[in-house]
Amino acid sequence: METTTKLELLDPATLIPSAANPRVHSQRQIRELRASLREYGVVSPVLVDQERNIIAGHAVVEAALAECVPAVPCVYVEHLTPTQRKAYMIASNRLAEKSHWDDGLLDACLQELFDAGFDLRLTGFGEYRLSDALARDTAPDLPDGGQEIDQCRRGDLWELGSHRLLCGDATRPEDMRRLMRDERAWLLLTDPPYNVDYHGGTAEHLTIANDNLPADRFQAFLTDALTAARGALMPGAAFYIWYGASSTMQFLAACQAAKLPVHAYLVWVKNQFVLGRQDYNWQHEPCLAGGLAPADYDGCLYGWDARAGHRWFGGDGQGTVYFCDKPQESAEHPTMKPVELFARQIRNSTKKGELVLDPFCGSGTAVLAAETYGRRCRAMELSPHNCDVIIRRWEEMTGRKAVLLEGGAADGGTETAD
């Protein structure tokens, strides 16, 4: 077994990034790496070949250049063939992804760092994971064998009483048409990914799809999803779109591109804030609110066509701030919203019996809120695991059983029963 031993300090400007590197580094990651370099210095060496082509460490080099670091430690990898170097470029990233955190030890380490006054943002974890580690009650994980249903697969269309659930892709217009079946909703109420690379704090290590994209790709993803949703709304329909502060610009741009004019900013104030040794700790979560205009016009303006006036059933005296306790247990879904939070918005913007659309249904909060207040929900969720959670929560609430209307095929399409 050959070992690489030659190490040299090199000017990062002389290192050559590989055009074949398939790993994409977001600007947020580079900003975090720059902060890491300022705190720790350059600790991990960059791997290069004899011509100073980078094999591993592209992001470190990019961050070092941005920080004007004069030299970085580099290890020459001399014993690998060009084919092996390319393969190692992939393997070094992929093999690292196969590990997972011991959450008990991680929480203890984060708590110890917090108590010592260390800035926890330099660990690379975001506000939700830090909140789980430092502020939540020690809620037990789900019992062994308790909630692993695993009955859903991509393409499944389920009937939950008066509600429908499609295990599908919110960015695909054909999936939206299949869910809605020529119906149109009076309310779009949804909680898309926030692009914060969330990792859950329970033993299941839950993550969220499309939650770690480059900013431009995330904006395109949101635009596709909101455009598909807009096509399923009634003229004059209201919308509530929950979002993360770090991706505000992408959400606003996507709303404008989808012709969903935003005219109010709502805030959910939680009963606990996110501990992070910041000057102001996060204790709220924002939401975009607006209404769909029947006519196409610039999305930065607020208004409705006279043929479909503003619908509001919430009475007078409501402010832009919601006070609602955060759910303590997140073993089923990493960022579960309280049912009452969605219920208030459903009551304010729909009548009984009307349709509510949620293309990012997550753990099923919109379905449960609609069930509670006599609305009908059309829900879509990409993750089969989350669809299982939605079905189980609805069945436990109602005592009824969900019915599979159409089964998903292996390619995400549909199967027709003989």
Task: Answer whether residue 39 shows pLDDT above 60.
Answer: yes
Pairing of strands 46-48, 54-56: antiparallel
Element of type H or E holding 38: helix 27-40
Give me the chain's average pLDDT, please: 79
Tens digit of pLDDT for each residue in 255-266?
999 998 887 788
How far apart CA 229 and CA 396 sit, in angstroms, is: 29
C-alpha 266: how far from its chain's center? 19
pLDDT at 119 over 90: no
Residue 335: pLDDT band with limits 50, 70, 90: low
Asked if residue 269 has pLDDT above 80, the reply is no
Q: How far is CA 260 from the centre of its chain?
A: 20
- The rounded distance, in Å, linking the Cα atoms of 180 and 358 is 11
Question: How does DSSP classify residue 53?
Answer: B
Span 329-337, mean pLDDT? 53
Q: Is 144 exposed, middle or buried (0-12, 13-18, 19+ CB in 10 A)?
A: exposed
Tell me the percentage of the chain whose pLDDT exceeds 70. Answer: 72
Q: Which pLDDT score is estimated for 142? A: 36
H helix or E strand, kind and range, residue 65: helix 58-66
Inform me whether the pLDDT recorded for 60 exceeds 80: yes
Sketch out the chain's domains with CATH numbers.
7-97 (3.90.1530.10), 103-134 (no CATH), 157-415 (3.40.50.150)
DSSP result, 197-252: --B-SSTT--B-TT-S--HHHHHHHHHHHHHHHHTTEEEEEEEEEE--GGGHHHHH
Mean pLDDT of 177-187: 95
Q: Is the pLDDT of residue 138 over 80?
A: no
The values of phi and psi at residue 22, to 5°, are: -85, 0
Per-residue pLDDT at 292: 47
Q: Helices H, strands E: what count in the chain?
A: 11, 15
* pLDDT tens readout for residues 242-254: 887 778 889 999 9
Helix crossing, 27-40 with 58-66: angle to 10°? 70
* Residues 290, 277: Cα–Cα separation, whole Å: 34
pLDDT digits (tens, 9 = 90+) for 404-418: 999 875 444 544 443
211 pLDDT band, cuts 50/70/90, is very low
Residue 130 — very low, low, confident or very high, per pLDDT cuts 50/70/90?
A: low
Count of CB atoms situated within 10 Å of the CB of 57: 24
Q: Which position has the higher pLDDT, 17 or 195?
A: 17
Q: How confident is the model at residue 180 (pLDDT cuts 50, 70, 90)?
A: very high
Per-residue pLDDT, 139: 35
More confident residue, 319 or 268: 268
Residues 129/360/416/174 CA torsion (nearest 10 deg): -130
Burial pattern 342-357, b for ≥16 Cβ within 10 A else e, equals bbbbbbbbbeeebbbb
Residue 356 DSSP one-character state: E
pLDDT digits (tens, 9 = 90+) for 344-378: 889 888 999 999 999 999 999 999 999 999 999 99
Q: What pLDDT shows up at residue 244? A: 76
d(CA 155, CA 165): 10
Which of 270 and 293 is assigned the larger pLDDT?
A: 270
What pLDDT does residue 418 have? 36
- Stated as kind and residue range, the H or E segment containing 178 is helix 173-180
On the CB side of 268, how many CA atoms lie within 13 Å of its CA?
Answer: 27
272 to 35, 117, 406: CA distances (angstroms): 27, 20, 42
